[in-house]
Amino acid sequence: MSSTTNNDSIADWRLLLSNKVVFITGGAGWIARHIAKTCYEHGARIVLADLNIETISKVKNETFGLENTDERILLVQFDVENEETIKKSVELTLNKWNTIHILINTFV
């Protein structure tokens, strides 16, 4: 395999999540923030969902930078025991991006 082909396949891999919507529950946790950062670096749109909006806002600022007002990051309040917050968070996501491509549950 030539180096050009190898570099092309690496570039393709980095674009795999480009413009995909990744919905992550348990968004305030360590696992979620690292998944979110990796997906974001690969071009994904990120939904961080957690019970406490202030906590995920802090996670967003720590993970992506205080100055980041990127439209690729959405924070939603989400309680796995409350069907209304689940519906509301999905509705907010769909209103913003019309779809959810990937759902990652890190809530424990």
Query: In the predicted model, is pLDDT for residue 7 greater than 80?
Result: no
Tell me the C-alpha to C-alpha distance, in Å, between residue 11 and each of 2, 4, 18, 97, 100. 14, 11, 11, 25, 24
Tell me the pLDDT of the chain averaged across its residues: 88
CATH of range 3-105; options 3.10.20.30, 3.40.50.720, 3.30.70.260, 3.40.228.10: 3.40.50.720
pTM summary value: 0.85
- Give residue limits of the domains in the chain: 3-105
Q: How much is the pLDDT for 23? A: 98
User: How does DSSP classify residue 31?
Assistant: H
